[in-house]
């Protein structure tokens, strides 16, 4: 059980929150939450002699568990945001922490945040293995990220669009960059892929 009395005592001695968390062997967010709740309840060290540790915990956290209640992230939102280019799990964790602090709620530490997200994915991603026959299917598309080529004469950066063709049975892939995604480039990309693989799949 967290020693809330010790947290308040060390804070009264001038230790910072990081030093207190190390001395009390608890997270820094627990220290921050305890000090905030103590201020709201007009508690400061020294505490009344008649107040036991359990009474202190019950006063700070009325649920009676003596533990802070962490705000569960919206992992559906996290999942959707991660589909966007440039968005990382770390950025979303920092965003979540800022939102919790603004609302006076307790955020999960990064490790627990990531673990909870992995647990969410296990439940969400119901998968089914697809069997493919050799040479039956060629999967094609423009890649999501755009590459860039620098003109050595002018220094101008020119966007390049990446065509990808994959044979799902073998995992072999063909990749080529184009300066446009028009019909002419799309057709040329297919022809190059057929030439590279040495044949045409039954289904594109």
Do 81 and 39 share a structural domain? no
54 and 99 assigned to the same domain: no
- Check whether 174 has a pLDDT greater than 60: yes
Phi-psi region of 46 (alpha: psi -120 to 50; beta: other; left: phi over 0): beta
What are the pLDDT digits (tens) for 70-81? 788 999 999 989
Does residue 97 belong to any structural domain of this protein?
Answer: yes
| Nearest one of 192, 72, 71 to 140, comparing CA atoms | 192
69 lies in a domain?
no
Residue 130 domain flag: no
How many domains, the chain? Answer: 3
Final residue of a domain: which of 60, 86, 105?
Answer: 60
Pairing mode of beta strands 147-150, 139-142? unpaired
Q: Is residue 146 part of a domain?
A: yes
User: Is residue 10 domain-resident?
Assistant: yes
CA separation for the pair 93, 45 (Å, rounded): 33
User: Both 143 and 189 in a single domain?
Assistant: yes
pLDDT in the model for residue 123: 82
Residue 46 token pair: 């020294």
Do 149 and 108 fall within a single domain? no
pLDDT digits (tens, 9 = 90+) for 5-52: 899 999 999 999 889 988 888 878 788 888 888 888 888 888 887 888
Region 159-184: mean pLDDT is 93
The token duo for 170 is: 């073998």
Do 115 and 149 share a structural domain? no
Count of CB atoms situated within 10 Å of the CB of 98? 11
State the residue range of the domain holding 24. 4-60
Assess whether 10 and 56 both reside in one domain.
yes
Q: Which of 57-66, 114-123, 147-156, 175-184 has the highest mean pLDDT?
A: 175-184
User: What is residue 1's predicted lDDT score, i.e. its pLDDT?
Assistant: 62
| Statement to judge: residues 143 and 193 lie in one domain | yes
Domain membership flag for residue 53: yes
**Residue predicted with more confidence, 54 or 163:** 163
Verify that 168 and 118 share a domain, yes or no: no
> Looking at the domain assignment, is residue 168 inside a domain?
yes
Q: Is residue 134 part of a domain?
A: no
pLDDT of residue 124: 78
One domain, residues 143 and 120: no
In which band, very low, low, confident or very high, does the pLDDT at 133 lie, cut at 50, 70 and 90?
confident
144 and 177 in one domain?
Answer: yes
Q: What pLDDT, in 10s, does the model give residues 139-148?
A: 999 987 788 8
């Amino acid at each position: 059980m967290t020693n809330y009395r010790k947290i308040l005592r060390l804070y009264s001695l001038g230790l910072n929150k990081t030093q207190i968390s190390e001395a009390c062997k608890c997270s820094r967010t627990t220290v921050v939450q305890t000090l905030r709740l103590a201020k709201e309840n007009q508690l400061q060290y020294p505490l009344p002699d008649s107040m036991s540790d359990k009474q202190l915990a019950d006063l700070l956290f009325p649920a009676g568990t003596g533990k802070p209640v962490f705000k569960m992230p919206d992992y559906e939102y996290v999942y959707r945001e991660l589909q966007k280019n440039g968005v990382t799990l770390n950025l979303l964790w920092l965003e979540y922490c800022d939102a919790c602090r603004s609302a006076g709620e307790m955020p999960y530490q990064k490790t627990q945040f990531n673990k909870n997200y992995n647990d969410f994915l296990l439940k969400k991603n119901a998968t089914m293995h697809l069997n493919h026959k050799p040479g039956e299917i060629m999967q094609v598309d423009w890649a999501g990220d755009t590459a860039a080529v620098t003109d050595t004469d002018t220094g101008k950066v020119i966007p390049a669009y990446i065509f990808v063709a994959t044979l799902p049975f073998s995992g072999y892939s063909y990749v080529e960059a184009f300066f446009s995604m028009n019909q002419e480039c799309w057709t040329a990309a297919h022809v190059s892929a057929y030439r590279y693989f040495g044949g045409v799949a039954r289904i594109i």
